Chains A and B, each alone.
Chain A
Amino acid sequence: MNNVYYGKLIFELSKPGRIGYSLPTSDIQGYCIDNLPECVTRKNQLDLPEADELTVARHYTNMSNNNFGVDTGFYPLGSCTMKYNPKVNEEMAALPGFNIHPSTPNAMAQGALELYDELQKILSEIAGLSRFTLNPYAGAHGELTGLMVIRKYHMQRGDVTRTKIIVPDSAHGTNPASAAVCGLQIVQVKSTTDGTVDIEDLKPLLGPDIAGMMMTNPNTLGIFERKIPEIARLVHECGGLMYYDGANLNPMLGVCRPGDMGFDVMHINLHKTFSTPHGGGGPGSGPVGVRTGLEQYLPNPQVVRNVDGTYSTTNDDQSLGRVSGWLGNFGIIIRAYAYLLSLGRENINMAGKLSVLNANYIKECLRSHYKLPIDGLCKHEFVFDGLKDEYAGDRHSPDHVTTLDVAKRLLDYGFHAPTIYFPLLFHEAMMIEPTETESKDTLDEFIAVMKQIAEEAKANPELLKTAPHSTPIRRLDDVKAVKEPRFIY
């Protein structure tokens, strides 16, 4: 990454009289847009940039040099599964044959529908569930869709009192937010000291008002919830359904399936587990899977394979309704399919195993310098609770080095920071997820730097307090951004 800041905006490069496009001259005469009624046309000047092609090309290329991606360096962002994004996937998504209008009749879109159905089937086998919809656009959208399936299931049975959903206190904020959009009230269940769901706290919560329970497994601390069969049994006995948040599916690939753990509904983040790029905040894709008996509630339209081997889109009367304009982020679906073909049944479980190997390796190598609140084998990720006291310094001193300081100092060394201050169970949380595509060599460099930073914290805390030093810009004034808001140029 370039450390010279390129901070210009395209509006500052604009000069009246320049254009960056070329359109054919229309050979249709006799019609003029100026004939539109005065009352419906735009009066306000539209102030857009005026720029030639090279100006635009250079502008965005320069900007990209101030950006850090997986292709730039190690990205150990917990809960985000920042694995390598293979390029053949990009090539496949760009094929002209897929650039068709979404209202193209099914008979003329058989290849697209086939790909959708093939991916749907592969995901069902990986999850141990019956059927997937690929329509949801992102993880949170998948959660919302999955919760709608659960509510629809209860409503169809006339079980209208089930309006509450149980969420562990370690859950990501998206879980309760999705439940609220879905019209459900949130009931929190506590964690035990080992970071897993407290069954004794769960039991009294269960009753005829419970629609279900949302969990990740492994949970946000990277700990496998061993009591999952019992939890699923208790929730099922009270009439609720089990929802699996697929954010942490990566380590489970080919080893252990959500359906076999007792989950009824789940979403998968294709942009985490199945290697599609995060794009700086989407587009992602959040397919939702269900066990047998719940298929009819999935959102419309559904893609089905007919007995003659052709494919159709259908609408089910019992469906929860529609959640997307068309069939989801199809370009992302293509990428995930290409990835799964490349991986294949021979390699898929190695993805999970190597991600677990990498996480445990970092954990063991760094526990000498960082506080490890929960011991034992982790899965794809784990949480440190900041630097050990001997490195962080006195908690009440202004020189006390925090997780934020460590994170910012990491940027100086060319690494992305871990997820920080989440989960909320630990004050100085630092959540590290290395993924399977990182080599031991990269991990060793990261480990050495993390130890170096710990030593720096002890010897020269000021260096960390004022970090980063070698990035294009320094720490930003967050307070000013909120108090003197400027969202447009």
Chain B
Amino acid sequence: MFKYFPHTSDDIQQMLDIIGVKSLDELYAEIPEELKLHRQLDIPSHKSEVEVRNIIHGMAEKNRILTCFAGSGVYDHYTPSLVPYLASRSEFSTSYTPYQAEISQGTLLYIFEYQTMMARLTGMDISNASMYDGSTATAEAMMMCVSASKKRNRVLISSTFNENVLQVVRTYAGFHGIDLVEIPQKDGIMDQQAVKDLIENEDVAGLVVAQPNRFGIIEDFTGLADFCHEHNTLLAVNTVASALGVLKSPGEWGADIACGDAQSLGVPMGYGGPYIGYLCTRNALVRKMPGRLVGATTDADGKRAFVLTMQAREQHIRREKATSNICTAQGFMCLYIACYLSLMGQKGLEQVNRQGYSAAHYMHDELIKSGKFVEVFPDKPFLNEFTLRYTGDDDIRIRMTEAGILFGVPTQDLDNCFTIACTEKNTREQIDSVINQL
């Protein structure tokens, strides 16, 4: 007897009798004996619920919860208590992909709301029903550029992406056979002249850019979309989702694709996931879009209702010709985002950005004032994340960690530099305490 198995020994016997076999083992009679294991698996023994709790609590306690000043794609934002509460409803969480629309309107409705909210945030026409994370969403955007252009195979990507995103995009490009060119940074921003030279002289399917970039800098893409479109090159803009509350949206920049991670919209940091990648585009590109899509239609009585649609793009129908292999993505996280944005609204999201901006600028100035940090890219605009160089010769990150502070993330390729992020959760007291520890 075990709590997840409802069968009594009488049940088992009656069922075996009907099937016409003598034992459970006989159900495997056709499998050659030499393929069978014939021993117990060498895995931990069964634990009671009390023991399971003790073991995993013990592991959780070995992690140290630090005051977070790290970003680099993942941000420690406030989540209203209602969000995880609603997300614990098992009517939502224990359902499968909503193939039977008549009994899945809950899932379909919240995905439709999510799609609407993401389209509005990014300023694009449409959004899909989620990708895995921001890095794979960026890789999918790259592949989408190539499939939309039909005959071109070269994609440019800004090297101002976070290194982990770049690595994922490189992996996909390498195996998929895409000619990926990384555009160097100049003074902390993508070298737009280098981009233009390449697009002018070569057949480029797409350009993928980061906003804010890995140094926290907000880049100016004015005129870039027009230039791309004159040369039949698609523009994909990756933005930290929360920043879209105040920053110019991909749609306003003239982008064809918007992609990125929506973790910053109230999703817990959870040591790397589950997060939620987003991918939005223009109506004209809908058939090139990867991932699931929910659409509105009517039922036999004329009632408005929602359904998975445009499925002929997808792997279960198109097989190797599908726009992507993605099927199960992060659908449930759409509920997180929809609840979060319903509660926060435009005002809340703006407030989150205002407070993050103030905290980050205050911390930036105080760190400079301390005399132990210097600017790396002076006078570049930033939102809630910035990069500075430490002038001391000790390992400040270790020292800070011991004091309970996650002091930013070491900046890739820049010696002794840290990329530091603040959110509305970081108080003046916390920042002052960092300064006092310097």
Q: Determine which of A112, A224, A348, A472 lies in contact with B41 in the assembled complex, contact meaning CB atoms within 8 Å.
A: A348
Q: Is there an interface contact between A376 and B109, defined as CB atoms closer than 8 Å? A: no
Q: Is there an interface contact between A282 and B331, defined as CB atoms closer than 8 Å? A: yes
Q: Is there an interface contact between A377 and B29, defined as CB atoms closer than 8 Å? A: yes
Q: Determine which of B14, B34, B326 lies in contact with A440 in the assembled complex, contact meaning CB atoms within 8 Å.
A: B14
In the assembled complex, the Cα of A281 lies from the Cα of B42 at a distance in Å of 32
Q: Determine which of B74, B275, B347 lies in contact with A103 in the assembled complex, contact meaning CB atoms within 8 Å.
A: B74
Q: Is there an interface contact between B359 and A28, defined as CB atoms closer than 8 Å? A: yes
Q: Is there an interface contact between A280 and B332, defined as CB atoms closer than 8 Å? A: yes
Comparing A91-99, A234-242, A454-462, the segment that makes contact with chain B is A91-99
B132 partner residues in chain A, CB cutoff 8 A? 137-138, 141, 282-283, 324
In the assembled complex, the Cα of A300 lies from the Cα of B164 at a distance in Å of 10
Mind listing 20 A-B residue pairs with CB under 8 Å? Answer: A7-B305, A18-B345, A20-B342, A32-B358, A49-B345, A71-B94, A112-B271, A173-B314, A173-B316, A173-B322, A280-B96, A282-B333, A283-B332, A323-B168, A325-B273, A353-B28, A440-B7, A478-B309, A485-B286, A487-B115
Q: Is there an interface contact between A279 and B332, defined as CB atoms closer than 8 Å? A: yes
Q: Is there an interface contact between B316 and A174, defined as CB atoms closer than 8 Å? A: yes
Q: Is there an interface contact between B126 and A345, defined as CB atoms closer than 8 Å? A: no
Is there a chain A Cβ closer than 8 Å to B57's Cβ?
A: yes
Q: Is there an interface contact between B113 and A341, defined as CB atoms closer than 8 Å? A: no
Q: Is there an interface contact between A228 and B35, defined as CB atoms closer than 8 Å? A: yes
A77 partner residues in chain B, CB cutoff 8 A? 96
B61 partner residues in chain A, CB cutoff 8 A? 97, 111
Q: Is there an interface contact between A9 and B177, defined as CB atoms closer than 8 Å? A: no
Q: Is there an interface contact between A69 and B362, defined as CB atoms closer than 8 Å? A: no
In the assembled complex, the Cα of A300 lies from the Cα of B167 at a distance in Å of 9
Q: Determine which of B220, B305, B358 lies in contact with A473 in the assembled complex, contact meaning CB atoms within 8 Å.
A: B305
Q: Is there an interface contact between A183 and B60, defined as CB atoms closer than 8 Å? A: no
8 A Cβ contacts from B131-181 to A: 132-136, 143, 164-165, 167-168, 170-172, 174-177
A228 partner residues in chain B, CB cutoff 8 A? 35
If A23-B424, A183-B175, A481-B296 touch, does A43 touch B248 (CB 8 Å cutoff)?
A: yes
Residue in B closest to A8 when the chains form the complex, CB atoms: B109
Residue in B closest to A410 when the chains form the complex, CB atoms: B100
Q: Is there an interface contact between B269 and A476, defined as CB atoms closer than 8 Å? A: no
If A173-B317, A328-B273 touch, does A42 touch B7 (CB 8 Å cutoff)?
A: no
Q: Is there an interface contact between B105 and A19, defined as CB atoms closer than 8 Å? A: no
B341 partner residues in chain A, CB cutoff 8 A? 48-49
Q: Is there an interface contact between B330 and A43, defined as CB atoms closer than 8 Å? A: no
- What distance in Å separates the Cβ of A422 from its nearest Cβ neighbour in chain B? 7
Which of B90, B94, B300 has the largest number of chain A CB atoms within 10 A? B94
Query: Using a Cβ cutoff of 8 Å, how many contacts connect chains A and B?
Result: 700
In the assembled complex, the Cα of A104 lies from the Cα of B326 at a distance in Å of 29
B164 partner residues in chain A, CB cutoff 8 A? 322, 325-326
In the assembled complex, the Cα of A432 lies from the Cα of B84 at a distance in Å of 33
Comparing A200-208, A251-259, A287-295, A384-392, the segment that makes contact with chain B is A251-259
8 A Cβ contacts from A45-81 to B: 45-51, 53, 56-57, 59-61, 63-72, 75, 77, 80
Residue in B closest to A16 when the chains form the complex, CB atoms: B345
- What distance in Å separates the Cβ of A352 from its nearest Cβ neighbour in chain B? 9
Q: Is there an interface contact between B271 and A100, defined as CB atoms closer than 8 Å? A: yes
- 5 nearest A-B pairs in the assembled complex, by CB-CB distance: A97-B60, A344-B46, A326-B272, A281-B331, A279-B332
Comparing B15-23, B196-204, B385-393, the segment that makes contact with chain A is B15-23
In the assembled complex, the Cα of A24 lies from the Cα of B348 at a distance in Å of 12
If A42-B247, A98-B270, A226-B30 touch, does A334 touch B2 (CB 8 Å cutoff)?
A: no
B176 partner residues in chain A, CB cutoff 8 A? 181-183
8 A Cβ contacts from A345-388 to B: 345-351, 353-354, 356-358, 360-361, 364-365, 376-377
Residue in A closest to B421 when the chains form the complex, CB atoms: A101
A137 partner residues in chain B, CB cutoff 8 A? 132-133, 136, 273-274, 329-330
Interface string of A476-489 (1 = CB under 8 A from B): 11101110111111
Q: Is there an interface contact between B35 and A260, defined as CB atoms closer than 8 Å? A: yes
Is there a chain B Cβ closer than 8 Å to A86's Cβ?
A: yes
In the assembled complex, the Cα of A1 lies from the Cα of B103 at a distance in Å of 8
Which of B102, B120, B133, B244 has the largest number of chain A CB atoms within 10 A? B102
Is there a chain A Cβ closer than 8 Å to B383's Cβ?
A: yes
In the assembled complex, the Cα of A64 lies from the Cα of B108 at a distance in Å of 11
Known: A44-B123, A65-B91. 10 other contacts (CB 8 A): A9-B116, A60-B86, A280-B98, A282-B329, A325-B134, A325-B164, A325-B275, A331-B273, A354-B12, A481-B297
Residue in A closest to B86 when the chains form the complex, CB atoms: A60
In the assembled complex, the Cα of A482 lies from the Cα of B307 at a distance in Å of 10
In the assembled complex, the Cα of A122 lies from the Cα of B251 at a distance in Å of 47
If A42-B245, A96-B65, A324-B133 touch, does A176 touch B94 (CB 8 Å cutoff)?
A: no
Is there a chain B Cβ closer than 8 Å to A277's Cβ?
A: yes
A99 partner residues in chain B, CB cutoff 8 A? 65, 268-271
Is there a chain A Cβ closer than 8 Å to B353's Cβ?
A: yes
A226 partner residues in chain B, CB cutoff 8 A? 30-32
Residue in A closest to B20 when the chains form the complex, CB atoms: A364
8 A Cβ contacts from B46-100 to A: 46-47, 49, 51-53, 55-66, 68, 70, 72-74, 76, 78, 80, 82, 84-86, 88-98, 100
Q: Determine which of B31, B78, B271 lies in contact with A102 in the assembled complex, contact meaning CB atoms within 8 Å.
A: B271
